[in-house]
Amino acid sequence: MDTAQQIRECVARVQALRLESQSQPAIHDAVLRVKRVQARRFAGTYADLLAGGPYAAASRFFLEELYSDRDYAERDAQFARIAGAVEKFFPADVAATAVALARLHALTESLDHAMARAWLDAGEAAGSDAHAYVQAWRAVGRREDRDGQLTTVLGIGVEMARLTRLPGLRFMLRMMRGPAAAAGLDALQRFLEAGFDTFSAMARSRHGADAFLSTIRDREARLIAQLFDGEPVACETELAATLGQAR
C-alpha cells in the first residue's frame, strides 16, 4: 500500500468516528470530556517542563498537537488532500513519518471513542473525572494498543529530531508556504513548521531531544502501568492530584 493510500485510509477512519459521534450527541460530548481530561492530565504530568526551560516549547507542542481537545478536522482534511504530494515531493523518510503520524491519529481517536462509550456506560456511577477515567480505561483495556501508541509517539519524535538534521529540509518547508496557502493547506503547514522548529531547537543541545523523549517514555510508561495494574483508589487519587496541577 502506498503512502498516500495509507494516509487517506487513516484519515477516513478518523472521519468515520467523528461522523458517528456527530450523529449521537451523548458520544460526542463524552469524547470531548475524555479529550479534556487527557489534555489536563498531560499538562499536570509535565507541569515542570511546561513552566519553562529547554523543553517548554517541545512540551507545549505535544500538548497542543497531540494531547489537546482541539478540533483537528480541518488539519485532517488537508492531510488527506496533500497525501499524494507528501509521497511525490518529500524524501521517503519524511513520507514514512507522515504515515506514522496518520496511524497514530487514527489509533488515538479509536481509543478516545472507546473510552467515551465506556464512560457513558458507567452513567451516574462515573463520579469524579479521575474515577471515571480510570474505570473507562480499564473497561476498554487494549493494553497492546496503549503500548503501541506510546511507541509510535516516541518513534515520531526520534524521526523528527533526525529529520531536522537533513540539509535543505527547513528551506523546503519555507518555500511551501505560498503553495500551501494557495491550496488551502495552512493548518497542515503550520503543524509541519512548528514540529520542525521545535525539534530543531532541541537538536542544537547535545542529547536534548533524547533527554526529552526519555522523559516522555518514562512518565507515560509509568502511567500506563499504573492505570492497568495499580490499586484503583490510589490510582484515582494520584490522577486527581495530577489533574489539579494542570494550568
For the chain, the domains span 3-245
Least confident of 105-109, 198-202, 237-241: 198-202
What pLDDT sits at residue 144?
Answer: 96
What pLDDT sits at residue 123?
Answer: 67
Residue 11 — pLDDT band, cuts 50, 70, 90? confident
Of 169, 22, 15, the closest CA to residue 105 belongs to 15
Task: Return phi, psi of residue 90, to 5°.
Answer: -105, 155
Q: Would you give the DSSP letter of residue 192?
A: H
Please state, in angstroms and rounded to a whole number, the distance separating the CA atoms of residues 107 and 158.
19
Dihedral sign, CA of 195, 17, 29, 109?
negative
Please state, in angstroms and rounded to a whole number, the distance separating the CA atoms of residues 206 and 183.
38
pLDDT, one tens digit per residue, over 111-169 is 999 999 999 887 656 678 889 999 999 999 999 999 999 999 888 888 878 877 777 76
What pLDDT sits at residue 1?
Answer: 60
Q: Which residue has the higher pLDDT, 26 or 75?
A: 26
What pLDDT sits at residue 193?
Answer: 75
What pLDDT sits at residue 113?
Answer: 94
What pLDDT sits at residue 225?
Answer: 94
What pLDDT sits at residue 72?
Answer: 67
Q: Would you give the DSSP letter of residue 24?
A: -
Contacts of residue 124, defined as CB under 8 A and 6 or more positions apart, other chains included, come to none
